[in-house]
Amino acid sequence: MSAYDLKTLIKTPVARNTFYSLTGQVLPMGVALISIPFIIKNLGVEKFGLLTLCWTILSVFMYFDVGISRSFIKQMAENIQNNQFEGAGSLLSLVGVIMLSISCIAAGVLFFSGPLLTNKAFNIPPELMKEAQKAFYILALILPVISLNSLVRSLLESAHRFDKTNYLNSFVGSFNYLSPLILSFYHQSLSMMFMVILLVRLLAFLLGLLWCLQVLKPVFQGPYGNWAPHFHIIKYGFWLTLTNFIAPVLNYGDRLVIGSLLPLSALSYYVTPYEVLSRLWLLPDAIVKVMFPSWAARQNQKMSSRPFQFLFFALLLMMLSLIFLIQSFSKEGLRLWVGEAFATNSAPLIPYFLLAVLMGALTRIPYTWLQATGQIKRATVIQVLESLGYLIFLWWSVKEFQVMGAAIALLVRLFFEYALFFLFAKRVFYHVRVFLSLFGAIVAFMGYTYLMNQLTSWSIKALILLVALAILFWAGKILISQNLENAKQ
């Protein structure tokens, strides 16, 4: 039976690690759902828009060292798989120096460009400019600490200790919202909020380092200065890092363009629902994060396409169930959560966001497989090709159609990204059913959305939702039974 047999995907360690990885993100999502309405009420829509802009800037700079950390996970996972710890200390020190150097450069750029960002780049009201500039200075201090956290999490992930990374993610992610929530009642300074976040991330690093010393003692036994045998990861990491210079443009370009062209209130109406809906990516992210070390360690073995196609269709059905459920009561949910103004301005964006989330979730499978099997150059080429076209289309769409234009541009980008990644990974993913299934899912969702918009009765909506979920559950049972039969052959 192949190493990429179906059982590899559903055996207990993978299921357990996926659970750990998923729960590490679910708690922060719950905290966000509770915190955001109170933060908006205490700060106001404009100031909350500035807070989301700060979160976006922080997220953009966080991408710059992910390439090296991903290549570090790949190399260290292979060493641990083969029980080879000679030179592990040198690998760790090399990666640490590179990541800290990149983050310090990024911090300097952010620190010295603060006045430019405040006065020229973004549409910040005059009364908030001084506070925005102070917040940007604190964000610059956070960046090196983020790199240190990324390093210890990468080391734990390479050893498949997702229980430990779960604790760290829960702690850091929750305080990303708890800090603004608590301080918004007493001291509404954004710089103070991010100072608390800085201290939380420092504490998380120290805790993660302690766990690394306990779990992976051989890695810390040295020597630390023999870097020459490990320079090959820089070549692999270069392509990942190049990808991650482009990723902020693709993932956060819409928020930056809205912040430049439209009032901060428009950014609030756009980011608030999207920030919550994008958390649906926690499910595919948890799965591929667990699978990455396994795929990297077995990249030279012969692979069957069956388990990958099973993973695709299983994820498709799960994501469809979630987006059908959310779309059924999206406007009512927004009204109860953040008020009538958000229900009026944000509800029309929800269908676009949900379809974008669906395609982004499915794209994560071939994208991670390309990274794990050393084909990151292909992934980088795809993102380079799409980034320029996306930025031009995004800028035009926002100027013409406001926040709706940004949602349309996001959906178009993720559709083309989906098609390109599956074609580049055709060795294990390409099948006509992969494309036809997504097309059918889009048509079904559009029809479902139109029907729900015509209905006003909650009871009828609930009945139609139950029928749709029953159909998806039935399709899931058929999928699982067919793949179990194939695994026995």
281 within domain boundaries: yes
> pLDDT value at position 4?
40
Residues whose CB is less than 8 angstroms from the CB of residue 359 and which lie 6 or more positions away in sequence, other chains included? 411, 414, 415, 417, 418, 438
For residue 374, the SS3 value is coil
At residue 397, the pLDDT reads: 94
Task: Report the distance separating Cα 333 and Cα 342, nearest Å.
Answer: 10
Count CB atoms within 10 A of the CB of residue 252.
Answer: 18
Three-state SS at 299: coil
Judge whether 78 lies within some domain.
Answer: yes
Residue 215 and residue 161 in contact, taking contact as beta carbons nearer than 8 Å: yes
What the block records as the tokens of 249 is 């443009």
Q: Is residue 99 part of a domain?
A: yes
Which pLDDT score is estimated for 348?
92
Q: Are 282 and 18 spatial neighbours (Cβ–Cβ below 8 Å)?
A: no
For residues 334 and 324, give the distance between their C-alpha atoms in angstroms, rounded to a whole number.
Answer: 16
Backbone angles phi, psi at 11, to 5 degrees: -70, 160
Q: Enter the tokens of residue 413.
A: 């980008």
Residue 276 to residue 426: CA distance in whole angstroms: 32
Cβ(51)–Cβ(190) under 8 Å? yes
* CB contact at 8 A, 116 and 247: no
- The whole-angstrom separation of Cα 479 and Cα 471 is 12
Centre a 10 Å sphere on the Cβ of residue 450 and count the other Cβ atoms it contains. Answer: 10
Q: Which amino acid is at 263?
A: P
First and final C-alpha spacing in the chain: 9
Indicate whether 145 belongs to any domain.
yes
- Chunked in runs of 10, what are the mean pLDDT values of the chain (489 residues)? 42 58 73 90 88 84 62 65 66 78 86 85 85 89 87 78 80 88 86 90 90 76 60 58 68 87 90 88 79 63 63 84 90 88 90 93 83 69 78 92 94 87 68 73 88 83 87 74 55
Is residue 448 a part of any domain in this protein?
yes
What are the phi and psi torsion angles at 300 (to 5°)?
-90, 0
Query: What's residue 358's pLDDT?
Result: 92
Owning domain of residue 115: 6-488
What are 108's two structure tokens?
Answer: 């300097």
Burial class (CB in 10 A: 0-12, 13-18, 19+), 458: exposed
* Percent of residues, the chain, with pLDDT higher than 90: 12
Q: CB-based contacts of 277: which residues, under 8 Å, 6+ apart?
A: 326, 350, 353, 354, 357
Contact 325, 384 (CB under 8 A): no
Sign of CA dihedral 414, 417, 421, 423: positive
Dist CA 260 CA 258 (whole Å): 5
What is the domain count for the chain? Answer: 1
Task: Please give the pLDDT value at position 159.
Answer: 73
Instruction: Work out the angle between the directed axes of helices 330-338 and 12-43 (0-180°, nearest 10).
Output: 60
Q: Is residue 100 situated within a structural domain?
A: yes
Indicate the angle between helix axes 190-215 and 45-62, nearest 10 degrees.
Answer: 30
The amino acid at residue 277 is L
Contact 42, 185 (CB under 8 A): yes
Burial of 217 (C-beta count, 10 Å sphere; 0-12/13-18/19+): exposed
39, 182, 190, 409 from 197: Cα distances, Å: 16, 12, 11, 32
Contacts of 33 (CB under 8 A, 6+ apart): 276, 337
Q: How far apart are CA 232 and CA 92, in angstroms?
A: 14
Q: Is 146 in contact with 169 (CB distance < 8 Å)? A: no
Alpha-carbon distance 484 to 480, whole Å? 6
Overall size of the chain counted in residues? 489
Q: How far is CA 369 from CA 239, 473, 487, in A?
A: 15, 27, 21
Q: Check residue 83 and report its DSSP letter.
A: T
Residue among 172, 113, 108, 115 nearest 140 (CA):
108
1 occurs within a structural domain: no
- pLDDT, tens digit, 9 for 90 and up, residues 259-282: 889 988 899 899 989 988 988 888
pLDDT for the residue 402: 92
Helix (H) or strand (E) run with residue 139 in it: helix 129-158
In a domain, 263, yes or no: yes
